[in-house]
Amino acid sequence: MNATLQAAPALSLSALLRRIAALSAIAGYVEVIGFMDVGGIYPGIMTGNTVQLGLTLAKAQWARFGTIGFAVGMFFIGGIISSLIKRHLRWPPLELMLMAALLLVASAVRLYAPWRTGIELPLLAIAMAMQGETLSRFGGVSLQTIVVTNNMVKFSDALVGRYLSRPGLTPSTAKVPELKEVLMPGLAWLTYSIGAGAGATAASLFRLPLLVPAIMLAFLVGDLALTRSGGTRTAS
């Protein structure tokens, strides 16, 4: 069962958008740092890694094939670990704190370049899998913050359905997308790109750039806790 960011029924659209922006920016930020640190292998974009896996297999580039396969395997294991943890936590978003802890460890590990592939890469892959497993529903809308392809499809479809389709050309029973169904995937796409740019910049300026997303996750968990507490008081 996926956790939802709408812990309280009255959660505003602005709160949903704030949290989506934070998570998407974190994903893009971590992704680009991992990509640069291990020579073009993604810690969380398994579509790109799977394509590279097939390509390196066809070209018999066995060393790179093994490294990419290692990243894919670690992400898969991370998903399993994340699912097991989530099923035993009374409040699944606490898993984001575990993700922050992994980023803190990876931040220290990346200072020693020989450890980046063997230790930093799996840490980041597991952390990204945790984010994908923990939060994937925002105010009743299914949305992934660690990838953008599906969000682009959702955004374009909702945009057409709400603003560009002509009533006479669509079935009368067709549901007009809500404003949040347009804004949320579009914002996730935009902030992912902004996060990636910020990550690339931070990696060139700071020794511990992964501290930034770890701190953001801590604030996000606090935000979720306040929402949960507010929802409990309202219910009582």
Q: How confident is the model at residue 3 (pLDDT cuts 50, 70, 90)?
A: very low
Q: How confident is the model at residue 169 (pLDDT cuts 50, 70, 90)?
A: low
- Mean pLDDT on 179-201: 95
| pLDDT reading at 82 higher than 90 | no
Partners of residue 3 on adjacent β-strands: 135
Burial class (CB in 10 A: 0-12, 13-18, 19+), 135: buried
Q: Which of 1, 2, 6, 35 is CA-nearest to residue 20? A: 6
Say what the pLDDT of residue 199 is: 97
Q: What is the pLDDT of residues 93-139, one digit of tens each?
A: 888 999 999 999 999 999 999 999 999 999 999 999 989 887 777 76
What is the residue-averaged pLDDT of the chain?
Answer: 86
Helix 179-205 crosses helix 149-159 at what angle (to 10 degrees)?
Answer: 150
| Strand, coil or helix: 66 | helix
CA distance 145 to 100: 16
Q: How confident is the model at residue 84 (pLDDT cuts 50, 70, 90)?
A: confident
Domain ranges of the chain: 3-224
- Share of residues in the chain with pLDDT > 70 (%): 88
Say what the pLDDT of residue 115 is: 94
103 versus 6: which is more confidently predicted?
A: 103
Q: What is the pLDDT of residues 48-67, one digit of tens each?
A: 999 999 999 999 999 999 99
Q: How confident is the model at residue 167 (pLDDT cuts 50, 70, 90)?
A: low
| Strand, coil or helix: 79 | helix
Say what the pLDDT of residue 173 is: 59
Half-sphere exposure of 42 (CA within 13 A, CB side): 19
Say what the pLDDT of residue 67 is: 94
CA distances from 9 to 13, 204, 214, 223 (A): 11, 42, 28, 15
Q: Which of 133, 164, 121, 104 is CA-nearest to residue 1? A: 133
Q: How confident is the model at residue 1 (pLDDT cuts 50, 70, 90)?
A: very low
Q: How confident is the model at residue 7 (pLDDT cuts 50, 70, 90)?
A: very low
List CB contacts of 42: < 8 A, sequence separation 6 or more: 31, 34, 35, 48, 49, 71
